[in-house]
Amino acid sequence: MPAAFNVNAIRKDFPNLHRKVHGKPLVYLDNAATTLKPKAVIEAVKHHYTYETSNVHRGVHFLSEQATAAFENTRKIVKEFIKAAKSSEIIFTRGTTDSINIVTQSYGRAFLKKDDEIIISHMEHHSNIVPWQMLCEERGCVLRVVPINDKGELIFEEFEKLLGPKTKFVSMVYVSNSLGTINPIKKIITLAHQYKCPVLVDGAQAVNHLPINVQDLNCDFFAFSGHKLFGPTGVGVLYGKKEFLNRMPPAQGGGDMISSVTFEKTAYNVLPHKFEAGTPHVAGVIGLGAAIEYVCSIGLEKIKHYESQLLAYGTRALKAIPGLRLIGTAKDKAAVLSFVIDKIHPHDLGTLVDEDGIAIRTGHHCTMPLMLRFNVPATARASLAFYNTKAEIDTLVKSIKKAKRLFP
């Protein structure tokens, strides 16, 4: 049993939590869209812009050395955070979407060809569907989709059936942003590897809920965003095994990704710089480092434990509301509560609870195929983080009940 979790102390670290919306204290339940930022992150970004503004990997002057050191220090922090073997396997990107696109554009275009099959699941975010569709269109590859059951769980036997000699890539979400489902990702990776098939894990919704160990998972690629991990927007990570990254061509050309350029011939830089063309989001990367340090100072095991209690409480509370149906009831689930309510469209609910200062997401959550699977145009989604409380869930329930009275 982890030590007591002091949520009130944690809440003091997040300035956003202390503002009001429509005259009511903000209840922020849209963490799967983006998370709030702790003071440590805001200060790190501010410090960079106030005192250390400089480009990285370029100047010999003092500021550039300082900024480069801070930037590269984050690479070490990320390496430790996801337990990668080497810092050079950590590539900074614009976010999960960018990370996945680098893999489709670089690995995909170099190594996948006509009739090769790529497997994804029915619960993917558009960012893990569309880049593969674009590749399929260009290369004549075939996209295969693993179906899910009514609880929103991957049907593992169907995945086994889809795997075969033609399967050349598996790209799968770890935690579903719409359903909260935690996929048995290690089992998926192990099985795919029996078919000599590399696996990309979309970890966008996993890194803030679960401890990650990419070597233990043995995934070949792992993608995540900074802003869903309490860090800045516009920065993310692509982890790739060195043996893959070394074989892959750069996805973009430009400065920093070269070792020498003449008009006849350009030699590419070593890892990770080969994949980091142009001036990166220096302040964002530094802020991401601060975010990871902050999360680690609390501890993901503790976070997981606290959030599972919140999820259980929230599930019970929402289920008790007549006419409310939870979408996504997997056995293994992160703190995401997607639901629909009889006679109230999710958008009306979203506007009405907003009046009480509550931020939830309403819509298709960039998972349109999933909405079709459950035969709903949209859902309302409350997604929780470790700074949320049972009292906030009570506020949501009260507000939903109030909205229901408008739509008898």
Partner 1 sequence: MTSSHSHELYQQVILEHNKKPRNFKKLEHPTHFAEGYNPLCGDHMYVYLRVNRERVIEEITFEGQGCAISKASASMMTDSLKGKTIPQAEKMFEQFHKLVIGELKPDKDSHILGKLAIFSGIWQYPSRVKCAALSWHTMNGALHKVESVSTES
Chain residues in the site for partner 1 (CB under 8 A): 20-23, 344-348, 351-352, 354-355, 362-364, 368, 371, 377-378, 406-407
**Do 334 and 240 touch, CB atoms closer than 8 A?**
no
**CA dist 114 to 79, 106, 110, 143, 168, Å?**
35, 16, 12, 11, 11
Three-state DSSP class for residue 394: helix
Of 37 and 365, the one with the shorter C-beta distance to partner 1 is 365
Q: Minimal distance in Å, beta carbon 134 to partner 1?
A: 19
Give backbone dihedrals phi and psi of 308, rounded to 5 degrees, phi first.
-65, -35
C-alpha 81/C-alpha 207 separation (Å) is 9
Identify the bridge partners of residue 146 per DSSP, sorted by sequence position: 121
Of 190 and 351, the one with the shorter C-beta distance to partner 1 is 351
Of 302 and 345, the one with the shorter C-beta distance to partner 1 is 345
Q: Minimal distance in Å, beta carbon 225 to partner 1?
A: 21
**CA dist 383 to 178, 282, 387, Å?**
9, 29, 12
Tokens representing residue 50 in the block: 């106030």
Q: Minimal distance in Å, beta carbon 21 to partner 1?
A: 8
Three-state DSSP class for residue 356: coil
Q: Minimal distance in Å, beta carbon 234 to partner 1?
A: 22
Of 10 and 349, the one with the shorter C-beta distance to partner 1 is 349
Of 22 and 247, the one with the shorter C-beta distance to partner 1 is 22
Identify the bridge partners of residue 199 per DSSP, sorted by sequence position: 170
From 136, 197, 219, 366, the catalytic residue: 366
C-alpha 355/C-alpha 406 separation (Å) is 14
**Do 136 and 143 touch, CB atoms closer than 8 A?**
yes
**Do 237 and 92 touch, CB atoms closer than 8 A?**
yes
Q: Minimal distance in Å, beta carbon 350 to partner 1?
A: 8
Identify the bridge partners of residue 225 per DSSP, sorted by sequence position: 236
Residue 219 annotated in active site: no
- Residue positions annotated with a catalytic role: 366
